[in-house]
Amino acid sequence: MTYNINIGEQTFPLKKDELSTLDMVQTADNQYHILQDGKAYRAELETADFNSKTMTIKINGNKYEINIEDSYDQLVKEMGLSMAGSQKMTNVKAPMPGLVLDILVKPDQAVVKGDTLLILEAMKMENVLKAEGDGVVKSIEVTKGTAVDKGQIIIEMH
């Protein structure tokens, strides 16, 4: 399997087996030391949005916004299909176990694709959950400070 790592207009292919050869050591929360081709790098993961597969990282102090495409994303792009059209929002499920830090929507509130819904802390990182389509919030199934399990419904949509 090959992933495409998009940084701005540049795309870097990365094979799954290449990840296992990467010499990387975690030095602190969200901070890593990487050796690649005889060069040392300091890396820090600032933010991660697993729903949209985007991250903000710092490499040796330089900030990069990256987007990761898996084989499905690449196929959709290759076929000329676009996910940009208006989609009806479905229930929002926790993408990973974590703690609800903030809820930014209310019942009966209309949301559009890209609106921030909730902030979830997982692995000592704040993860922003955004609307994947348009919809109306039916109910909030969690409260601020609640621990959630992966796959648990956290926001029910109409």
In order, the DSSP letters of 25-90 are EEEETTEEEEEETTEEEEEEEEEEETTTTEEEEEETTEEEEEEEE-HHHHHHHHTT--S-S--B--
C-alpha distance from residue 86 to each of 73, 121, 139, 140 (Å):
18, 29, 22, 23
Reading the block at residue 157, the tokens are 């949509």
- How far, in Å, CA of 86 to CA of 104, rounded? 22
pLDDT given for residue 107 in this prediction? 94
pLDDT in tens, 20-49: 778 899 999 999 999 888 899 999 999 888
Q: Is the confidence at residue 135, as pLDDT, over 70?
A: yes
Would strands 110-111 and 98-103 be described as parallel, antiparallel, or unpaired? unpaired
- How far, in Å, CA of 55 to CA of 42, rounded? 16
pLDDT given for residue 124 in this prediction? 82
pLDDT in tens, 95-116: 889 999 999 999 999 998 889 9
Q: Is the confidence at residue 15, as pLDDT, over 70?
A: yes
Query: Is the model's pTM score more than 0.75?
Result: no
pLDDT given for residue 82 in this prediction? 53
- Do 90 and 156 contact (CB within 8 A), yes or no? no
pLDDT given for residue 80 in this prediction? 66
- In the chain the domains, ranked by start, together with CATH numbers, are 2-75 (no CATH), 92-157 (2.40.50.100)
Q: What percent of the chain has pLDDT over 90?
A: 47
- How far, in Å, CA of 145 to CA of 73, rounded? 34
- How far, in Å, CA of 114 to CA of 85, rounded? 13
